[in-house]
């Protein structure tokens, strides 16, 4: 049977949930900044953009795969 959490446990759950969401938003905003830099690189390099912007493109591709914002319901399911 599941017991109801005490007020201190509930506050701790809310605090950890907020921290997790904040961190995921920070990662999402970092990915946005990399995307903006990639767009500037593409525009500035012209026909050589595939060669000269490859590092930024790979970094951005990795970030959008891993840095997704999750809602609190998914966070609560993964908590111990």
Whole-number percent of the chain with pLDDT over 90 = 35
Whole-angstrom Cα distance, residue 56 to residue 41? 9
The contacts found for 19-22 with CB under 8 angstroms, 24 or more apart, are 20/70, 20/75, 21/69, 21/70, 21/72, 21/75
pLDDT in tens, 45-65: 988 988 999 999 999 999 988
Smallest Cα–Cα separation from 53: which of 42, 61, 62, 43?
Answer: 42
Does the structure show a pLDDT above 60 at 43? yes
- The answer, as to whether pTM is greater than 0.95, is no
């Amino acid at each position: 049977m599941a017991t109801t959490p005490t007020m201190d446990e509930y506050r701790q759950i809310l605090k950890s949930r907020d921290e997790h969401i904040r961190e995921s938003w920070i990662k999402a905003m970092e990915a946005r900044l990399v995307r903006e830099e990639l767009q500037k690189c593409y525009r500035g390099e012209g026909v050589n953009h595939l060669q000269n912007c490859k590092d930024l493109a790979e970094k951005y591709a990795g970030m959008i795969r891993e840095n997704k914002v999750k809602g609190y319901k998914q966070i609560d399911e993964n908590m111990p």
